[in-house]
């Protein structure tokens, strides 16, 4: 995957980058191969080839929808005769019982694609929903909620898309985006000053340097070394307040480590400009959704 692939803005929807078609197809094909194996034996042996179905994807709880384009691609790759009609857009808020899309066509194709399509929508909608809650928690403070690289292997571009759909911002997509000097880098490099100096001498002037700081002493060294961003990691409230006071006006202030919906507002109000929240992608619960077939002769 190239940087251009993962940052594609082709056909952008609602202000966030669209998912590149090539990556969607690649991910869906891999997911279908994982699920289908040698074929959908249940559907093939119980459902007549000529059977048709009208199915509704329904949200069973309130949340923010994300992943509908991937669901549509899933049905299309299993059977292009399946027609998918979205009844909302990624980024829309839904209530329990809301129909988010309708699939019409051969019943076999819809059944075989069902779980994979739901998995994508449930996972991404869960991330978008949790992100939107964090965004609301810091509303009015000017702070940004951003994600991390704590993503499901192979699905990072989709999970970061879901964060954007939920109103958050994307941190680094990968190790090539920016310099982020963390605790192990500091040990291996021989200290913060040495690490920052080496990085500054090697990177283009447009690339930023962030230094993770666990203590006030590390913060002082990072500020003296000229870090663009200081990441205040896992500090208690008292230490964090002192750190923000020292860093204000000298570097951008990012806070990370154990941020919750209960603590986010206070951290932002204290002066943090960026709150990086790994939980957005590594701990977001899936949004409950289902695909329901209408009985023969009925249409919803």
| CA 40-43-49 angle, 5° bins | 115
Q: What gap in Å lies between CA 251 and CA 230, rounded to an integer? A: 6
DSSP codes of every residue in 147-186: --S---TT-HHHHHHHHHHTT-B---SSTTS-EEE-HHHH
Rg of the chain in Å (alpha carbons): 23
Q: Catalytic: 212?
A: yes
Return the structure tokens found at 111. Answer: 């059944």
Contact 262, 286 (CB under 8 A): no
* φ/ψ of residue 255, rounded to 5: -120, 140
Return the structure tokens found at 179. Answer: 């310099």
Instruction: Say how far residue 278 (Cα) sits from the centre of its chain.
Output: 10
DSSP codes of every residue in 229-258: EEEEES--HHHHHHHHHHHTTTSEEEEESS
Return the structure tokens found at 178. Answer: 């920016």
Quote the pLDDT of residue 5.
43
Q: Which residues pair with 233 in a beta bridge?
A: 256
Each domain of the chain, given as residue ranges in start order, spans 3-133+285-293, 136-282
Q: What gap in Å lies between CA 27 and CA 41, rounded to an integer? A: 23
Q: Catalytic: 233?
A: yes
The one catalytic residue among 60, 182, 200, 250: 182
DSSP codes of every residue in 73-110: HHHHHH-TT-EEEESS-TT-EE-TT-EEEEEEEEHHHH
Task: Report domain 3-133+285-293's class.
Answer: alpha beta
The one catalytic residue among 60, 115, 149, 200: 115
Return the structure tokens found at 183. Answer: 């605790």
Q: Catalytic: 150?
A: yes
Quote the pLDDT of residue 297.
62
Quote the pLDDT of residue 97.
97
Contact 267, 255 (CB under 8 A): yes
Quote the pLDDT of residue 277.
98
Ramachandran region of residue 186, left (φ > 0), alpha (ψ -120 to 50) or beta?
A: alpha
Q: What gap in Å lies between CA 171 and CA 252, rounded to an integer? A: 14
This prediction has a pTM of 0.92
Task: Report domain 136-282's class.
Answer: alpha beta
The one catalytic residue among 40, 92, 147, 212: 212
Q: What gap in Å lies between CA 157 and CA 267, rounded to an integer? A: 28
Q: What gap in Å lies between CA 260 and CA 239, rounded to an integer? A: 18
Quote the pLDDT of residue 19.
81
Least Cα distance to 88 among 121, 116, 49 occurs for 121
Return the structure tokens found at 175. Answer: 């190790």
Quote the pLDDT of residue 17.
56
3-state helix, strand, coil in the chain (%, to 5): 40, 20, 40
Least Cα distance to 27 among 158, 132, 142 occurs for 158
The one catalytic residue among 92, 114, 233, 254: 233
Q: Catalytic: 115?
A: yes
The one catalytic residue among 133, 149, 150, 252: 150
Q: What is the mean pLDDT of each run of 10 residues along the chain (300 residues)?
A: 40 55 92 96 97 98 97 97 96 98 98 98 98 98 97 95 96 94 97 98 96 98 98 96 97 97 97 97 98 76
């Amino acid at each position: 995957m190239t940087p251009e692939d993962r940052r594609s803005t082709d056909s952008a929807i609602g202000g966030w980058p669209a998912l590149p078609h090539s990556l969607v197809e690649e991910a869906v094909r891999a997911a279908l191969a994982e699920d289908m194996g040698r074929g959908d034996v249940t559907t093939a042996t119980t459902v007549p080839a000529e059977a048709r179905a009208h199915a509704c994807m329904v949200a069973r709880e309130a949340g923010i929808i994300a992943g509908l384009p991937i669901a549509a691609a899933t049905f299309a790759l299993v059977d292009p005769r399946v027609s998918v009609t979205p009844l909302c857009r990624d980024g829309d808020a839904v209530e329990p019982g809301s129909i988010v899309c309708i699939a019409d066509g051969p019943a076999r194709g819809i059944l075989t694609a069902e779980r994979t399509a739901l998995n994508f929508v449930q996972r991404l909608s869960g991330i978008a929903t949790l992100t939107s809650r964090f965004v609301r928690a810091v509303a009015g403070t000017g702070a940004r909620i951003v994600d991390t690289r704590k993503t499901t292997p192979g699905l990072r571009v989709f999970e970061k898309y879901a964060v954007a759909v939920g109103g958050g911002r994307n941190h680094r997509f990968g190790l090539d985006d920016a310099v982020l000097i963390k605790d192990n880098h500091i040990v291996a490099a021989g200290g913060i000053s040495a690490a920052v100096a080496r990085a500054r001498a090697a990177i283009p002037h447009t690339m930023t340097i962030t230094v993770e700081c666990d203590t006030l002493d590390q913060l002082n060294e990072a500020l003296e070394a000229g870090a663009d961003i200081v990441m205040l990691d896992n500090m208690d409230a008292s230490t964090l307040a002192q750190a923000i006071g020292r860093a204000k006006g000298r570097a951008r202030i990012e806070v990370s480590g154990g941020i919750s919906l209960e603590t986010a507002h206070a951290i932002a109000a204290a002066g943090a400009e960026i709150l990086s929240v790994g939980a957005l992608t590594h701990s977001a619960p899936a949004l409950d959704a289902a695909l329901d077939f209408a009985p023969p002769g009925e249409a919803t």
